[in-house]
Structure 1
Amino acid sequence: MESGSVTTPFGRRPMTFGMLASQAVARKIEPGRSIDKWKLYRALCEARPLLGITDRALSILNALLSFYPKGELCEDNGLVVFPSNAQLSLRAHGMAEQTIRRHLAALIEAGLLIRKDSPNGKRYARREQGGEIGEAFGFSLAPLLARADEVERLAAEVAAERLQLQRLKERLTLCRRDITKLIEMAVEEGAPGDWSGYHLHFRSAVEQLPRSPSATEAAAALDQLELLREEIINQLEMQVKAQNQSGNAQHSERHIQSSNPYSITELEPSFGTKQGATADNRSEGWAEPMGRTATQEGRGGPVPAESSASTASGGLKSFPLGLVLQACPEIGAYGPQGSVGTWRDLMAAAVVVRSMLGVSPSAYEQACEVMGPENAATVMACVLERAGHINSAGGYLRDLTRRAERGEFAIGPMLMALARANSPIRGKTG
């Protein structure tokens, strides 16, 4: 562009203050300034979100740059390109001319191009006698050269924000994994605490994250989850310290008490005969067996039934009633007066459910003897939740009882799977 000149658009296109400002910026190019056009284009692609242009507009700009004969943009070589819309369409992979006009207008509005129209609106160049271009009419690339430093700065900001967001997402992933596994461990080990409440808090924080969060949103969610993780860790560390102090034989003796406060005879009469059944349709990931533990088989004769049941019942963890009701809400309708508020209510509801599902009294009595009344009632509540996926509830219960006798069954994974499935707040994938 000539110094001090102002060009106005041809025809009905109006002149705007934005066009005037772009032309004013283009006149401030430093003498001798040059820049690699494709390096500048890559910076434009990086800074696109901050420049407010679309990827298709950048495709048109790419086609315009391809018409510039030199590898570097420089005022000494001229900065005006003058291809026809037909030639632009060919280099823009067949883009329609109406679409080309729309994106050209967007580039001009963004201050990346200047329209230098001829008297008749055509794009062409006048050549001197020596064949050199004297004056050209088309699109001036001068704003690109004038704003090169600004574009590179914006590109660096976008790259830094993307790197920060990537690191925040990595920390979020690690924090989510830590919280999930710590809660599962606490439930599996039967540690006292409001683990269902922690789980709901965790799912609520994750649910608030959008599918594509910004750096600010990711940082806010990370702060919330890190506080939750710290609280869980503190509570678990207190449990470890308490266990270490109570397990010191020099200071205190182990307290042994019965884990069966309610007699099974209070709930259901005993029957001498037992019905055999098989377990069908175990859901994948549900009621997974624990690692096989050492038994007394092979150490000198068969194991007495009472000793085997006592060992298995002692090794099976109990869980808070609140967690059981959260994971198995359907059992509540079968409790006394249509609700379950205590363990005794849950065990009474389990007797009703046992009869409804066709589980024999002997199978349920054996489960109570092996697992304990509370755990047996918990298992019945889980079976009720999955009744539509189990062909024979009685056979399934007998199979779980046999696995519990061998130390190969734990209630924790089954409860956690149902708690996640019945949680009022659904988690996202990923």
Structure 2
Amino acid sequence: MRTGLVTTPFGRRPMTLALVKGQLQSSDDRMKRPVEKWKVFRDISEARQLLGLHDRALAVLDALLTFHPKNEFSAGDRLVVFPSNAQLSVRAHGITGTTLRRHLAALIEAGLIHRRDSPNGKRYAHRGHGGQIEHAYGFDLEPLMLRAAELAGLAQQVAAEKIRFKRAKEALTLCRRDIRKLLTAAVEEGADGDWCMMEEIYETLISRLPRSPNRETVETLLSEMDTLRTEIVNRLETQVKTEKTDTNDTQNGCHIQNSDSESIYELEHGSEKELEGKTEPTKLRQNATQKTFPLSMVLRACPQMLDYARGGQIGNWRDFIATAVLVRSMLSVSPSAYQQACETLGQENAAVALACILERAGHINSAGGYLRDLSARARRAEFSLGPMLMALIRANASEGLKRTG
């Protein structure tokens, strides 16, 4: 028959079968190997979320442990401590009585300590003639010794989860960087593909990432991001293979070039004097290297152009260029500055540059001077519209998320 193995709480505090089970298990699982109490405390601190404990509960447990004189728990030791609430409050950094009782209850509920209540509910000890404690009423720390291995396993589980979470966040960061730079390169280099749609998919995925995500959310998003990255790489790989094939065909085939001929594009923009000399002016060589971006992408980056378009709609490049002429006048850009941009960038891209300036008009002191500077940098091959458009698309997407949030 078991005697004195189970004690019931004093006063109105109810007894539960869970408390009975915990006390009986403690009696059945006695250990002989000593356990370092502060190591057990560190394991509990690591696993506190799994145990359902708050930081203040840990402060209370820390205070309780200071009332046990040894640094180890050993079988045969008396592990019941009996401090008053006032003493506990002092060692728990001044925690209030109500909070103290609540977190003591949480420690008992988690099965880390047991109550050993006296007949009157007070905490005290009976001592023998030599001063040794014969019987004590208070809080039994024995579950900490008996569950030391289990608590260490929980702490290792939490540590492994943290590492896995960290790796997932690192992988997501790298995947986001890859997608961002691959999209920018694709647009800047004028690669074939619906990069605007890819950008929309990317922004949609990013919008699903909460401010404080858990590991499952990060891993799910990483899987979808990785699929998007693979699709982008595959399309760029196809583009590279196509260009390589076209280059080989050109080199191996019979290529006849008339050095005196001029392209239609050059004939449209070259002066009569240049055509008479059959020379290729520098500005035309620069013009030929400029990429024309999809109109849908440009309008997504520069939606304010629609405010100045006839009927509020832009259906083709002719409409866009006509709107740019109106915007040029509104921004007080001189005809010569705009003409210079057309000669350097091409008519479409000059209109795009003007649309980008319109989007950032509040941050630009002189729109005409800024356009001249862009033209000068483009002539030195130091400027491309691709990164500017991508930056505006990202800014507009972020602003849209703020409004909807």
Distance 1:31 1:231, change over 3 A: closer
Deviation at 1:213, TM superposition (A): 2.1
Give the CA RMSD over aligned residues: 2.5
Distance 1:321 1:262, change over 3 A: farther
Mean Cα deviation higher: 333-342 or 113-122: 333-342
The 2-side partners of 1:263 and 1:334 are apart by 27
Distance 1:55 1:305, change over 3 A: farther
- The equivalent residue for 2:251 is 250
3-state SS of the aligned residue for 1:247?
helix
Deviation at 1:312, TM superposition (A): 2.0
Deviation at 1:136, TM superposition (A): 0.3
Deviation at 1:150, TM superposition (A): 2.0
Deviation at 1:30, TM superposition (A): 2.6
Q: Return the structure number with greater helix share.
A: 2
Structure 1: tracts of 5 or more residues without a match: 265-303
- The equivalent residue for 2:311 is 337
What is the identity, as a one-letter code, of the residue corresponding to 2:251? Q
Distance 1:77 1:258, change over 3 A: farther
8 Å Cα contact 2:31-2:146 kept in structure 1: no
Match of 1:419 among 379, 388, 393: 393
Match of 2:346 among 336, 347, 372: 372
3-state SS of the aligned residue for 2:134?
strand
What is the identity, as a one-letter code, of the residue corresponding to 1:377? A
Match of 2:383 among 386, 409, 424: 409
What is the identity, as a one-letter code, of the residue corresponding to 2:35? I
- The equivalent residue for 2:274 is none
What is the identity, as a one-letter code, of the residue corresponding to 2:252? H
Structure-1-length-normalised TM-score: 0.84
The 2-side partners of 1:397 and 1:305 are apart by 28
The 2-side partners of 1:254 and 1:69 are apart by 98
8 Å Cα contact 1:82-1:136 kept in structure 2: yes
Deviation at 1:27, TM superposition (A): 1.3
The 2-side partners of 1:208 and 1:231 are apart by 20
8 Å Cα contact 1:36-1:73 kept in structure 2: yes
- The equivalent residue for 1:12 is 12
The 2-side partners of 1:139 and 1:261 are apart by 96
Mean Cα deviation higher: 399-408 or 107-116: 399-408
- The equivalent residue for 1:52 is 52
Match of 2:335 among 348, 361, 372: 361
The 2-side partners of 1:208 and 1:34 are apart by 50
Mean Cα deviation higher: 311-320 or 96-105: 311-320
- The equivalent residue for 2:27 is 27
Deviation at 1:40, TM superposition (A): 0.8
Q: Equivalences for 1:5-404 in 2 at 5 Å?
A: 5-248=5-248, 249-252=250-253, 253=255, 258-259=264-265, 307-404=281-378
Deviations 1:280-309 (A, max 9, x none): xxxxxxxxxxxxxxxxxxxxxxxx997121
The 1-side partners of 2:311 and 2:337 are apart by 26
Deviation at 1:168, TM superposition (A): 0.8
8 Å Cα contact 2:184-2:390 kept in structure 1: yes
Deviation at 1:42, TM superposition (A): 0.9
Mean Cα deviation higher: 359-368 or 96-105: 359-368
Deviations 1:46-68 (A, max 9, x none): 11111111111011111111111
The 2-side partners of 1:404 and 1:24 are apart by 82
Mean Cα deviation higher: 372-381 or 211-220: 211-220
Structure-2-length-normalised TM-score: 0.89
What is the identity, as a one-letter code, of the residue corresponding to 1:103? H
Structure with higher RCO (Cα < 8 A, 6+ apart): 1
Deviations 1:231-277 (A, max 9, x none): 0000001111111111224235599954579879xxxxxxxxxxxxx
Distance 1:375 1:178, change over 3 A: same
Deviation at 1:210, TM superposition (A): 2.1
3-state SS of the aligned residue for 2:291?
coil
3-state SS of the aligned residue for 1:125?
strand
Aligned length: 388
Deviations 1:10-34 (A, max 9, x none): 1222222222222122212235243
8 Å Cα contact 2:187-2:386 kept in structure 1: yes
Deviation at 1:326, TM superposition (A): 0.7
Distance 1:36 1:224, change over 3 A: same
The 2-side partners of 1:349 and 1:254 are apart by 41
The 2-side partners of 1:261 and 1:220 are apart by 55
The 2-side partners of 1:254 and 1:119 are apart by 110
Mean Cα deviation higher: 195-204 or 230-239: 195-204
The 1-side partners of 2:31 and 2:341 are apart by 91
The 1-side partners of 2:223 and 2:256 are apart by 41
8 Å Cα contact 2:189-2:291 kept in structure 1: yes
- The equivalent residue for 2:275 is none
3-state SS of the aligned residue for 1:77?
coil
The 2-side partners of 1:173 and 1:94 are apart by 43
3-state SS of the aligned residue for 2:76?
helix
What is the identity, as a one-letter code, of the residue corresponding to 1:167? R
Deviation at 1:329, TM superposition (A): 0.5
Mean Cα deviation higher: 213-222 or 242-251: 242-251
8 Å Cα contact 2:30-2:75 kept in structure 1: no
The 2-side partners of 1:416 and 1:115 are apart by 65
The 2-side partners of 1:307 and 1:63 are apart by 85
Deviation at 1:117, TM superposition (A): 0.9
3-state SS of the aligned residue for 1:139?
strand
3-state SS of the aligned residue for 1:126?
strand
Identity of aligned residues (%): 53
